[in-house]
Structure 1
């Protein structure tokens, strides 16, 4: 993995602040990409490192074209752990969040099967509906979280790349944007556009293998069908800034259980379940 020196500039940070996303140079080499692809194979085969289980275990579907997603796979795969807590991702995320630290909120390993067809399926089981991540994370006291989405192959519209709506991180939290599992992209877009009252513009994030896209927790994003013969593989790290703490807004996710049996307002997400990928103290 490359050093971050020179990889993110003040201009990059300004682009992120304006648009709510940023695309990195290639961060991972061919060997690291292959190791992450092998991690995918092991995870979907329930071949775990250690005797524990992920926070959310993958359940095999009878539909081979259904999107696969698993949360907190760093608990059960050493390669994923190394990737999502890497100082490179951490330093970039800290820079984008204007934070002295970047901690792992949680990770996701995502497998989008190929359909092997040129015909568009408006309700493809591989679609990811337009959504804002923060709608699911309102148990945090800040919306200043960032997601790093790592491509394990060249990724574009032909194999279902992610698209974002630039500037939508400035629209606030939209209740209609909780549609990760809604495959009808057009109806979700219409609903969010109506609620926001803003002009809708989509930008596809075209990545080379080993690149990562970073987006703000309020940036609206989604992805469509994978028309290729091969699955689209990715590893995703959700990272949070220094001082992120629990806030009871009635939108709690499974992660609050990791604070203990009786989480309290203001309790920081800074224990062993939320490892630091980067902090200024680590560099001293």
Structure 2
């Protein structure tokens, strides 16, 4: 990745602040994409770097016909670690968050299976329900976190690209937005639209291989079926701004995605469990 391609403008930042998302130019080259695809293969085969395990020692299904998601694979795959802490990715995230720093909150590696047919019954294998990321993260003193979604192939509606609801990051946290694993997109949409009382508009994130979509932690997003013959692969980095600290917002601590020892109120997430992707000071 060339360092020069990670520059963003004030216009880019204003677009993100208004819409809750922004799409980068191509950031990763063909070799980097191939390395990430190989990392997918190794992860789903339980071929880990080192002797550790991913978050909570949770091991995903190796069934290629199912939606597969694994958290904190940077612990067990060196390529993913290099990707999600890439300083260009971090600099863009820091710019969008208007922060001097971007640290990794955690990562995800996602495999959406291809069905090869437009089959209503097959939707259960690949849909990702409409949700806000922050509904699962209610343990920080800020909601100003950003998700960077890296496409490992050209991605559009035919193979289940992500769609976002522009401006929904301004709607506040919605209790009905915890539907990642709810495959019934229409019923989830109806519930969230009713709770928000806002007009619903969807924008698909149409990406070339190596492009990255960035969205705010409160931006509502989801994705539909992959009708292609090939799986839709992605690597996702969730990043947080400088000074992000633990704040107990009443969420069940056992379900909070905290890494390492449980923190105390006000403790800043600034240790080795949350590596720096970019810092203006360095």
Q: Tell me what 1:7 maps to.
A: 7
Q: How does 1:131-146 map to 2 (within 5 A)?
A: 131-146=131-146
Q: 1:206 to 1:85 in 2, by over 3 A?
A: same
Q: Distance in 2 between matches of 1:132 and 1:119?
A: 27
Name the counterpart of 1:80.
80
CA deviation string 1:123-157 (max 9, x = no partner): 42210000000111110110000000000000000
Partner of 1:272: 272
**Is 1:246–1:256's contact at 8 Å kept on the other side of the alignment?**
no
- TM-score with structure 1 length normalisation? 0.95
Q: Structure 2, unaligned stretches of length 5 or more?
A: none
Stretch deviating more after TM superposition (222-231 or 243-252): 243-252
Q: Number of matched residues?
A: 279
Is the 1:121–1:225 Cα contact (8 Å) retained in structure 2? no
SS of equivalent to 1:124:
helix
Q: Distance in 1 between matches of 2:134 and 2:117?
A: 34
- In the alignment, structure 1 segments of 5+ residues that lack a partner are none
SS in 2 for 1:102: strand
Q: Bigger CA drift: 263-272 or 76-85?
A: 263-272
Change (3 A) 1:245 1:103: same
Match of residue 17 from structure 2: 17
For residue 119 of structure 1, report the CA deviation from its aligned partner. Answer: 2.9
Deviation, 1:2, is: 2.1
Q: What residue in structure 2 maps to residue 256 of structure 1?
A: 258
Q: CA RMSD in A?
A: 1.4
1:47-84 deviation digits (Å, cap 9, x = unpaired): 0000000114333166x422000000000000000000
Q: What secondary structure, in the 3-state scheme, does the structure 2 residue paired with 1:256 have?
A: coil
> Which residue is equivalent to 1:101?
101
Higher alpha-carbon deviation: 230-239 or 49-58: 49-58
Aligned residues of 1:4 and 1:92 also touching (Cα < 8 A): no
Residues in 2 aligned to 1:10 and 1:182: alpha-carbon distance in whole angstroms: 37
The verdict on how the C-alpha distance between 1:123 and 1:228 changes in structure 2, with shifts beyond 3 A counting, is closer
Asked if the contact 1:58–1:68 (Cα under 8 Å) also holds between the matched residues in 2, the reply is: no
1:59 is the counterpart of 2:60: yes
Q: Does the 8 Å contact 1:7/1:24 carry over to 2?
A: no
Q: Superposed, which structure 2 residues align to 1:123-134 within 5 Å?
A: 123-134=123-134
Partner residue, 2:27: 27
Instruction: Indicate how the Cα distance of structure 1 residues 244 and 8 shifts in structure 2: closer, same or farther if over 3 A, else same.
Output: same
Contact 1:122 1:184 (8 Å CA) reproduced: no
Contact 1:27-1:211 within 8 A present in 2 as well: yes
Per the TM alignment, residue 198 of structure 1 is displaced from its structure 2 partner at its CA by 0.0
CA spacing shift, 1:6–1:39, aligned 2, 3 Å: closer
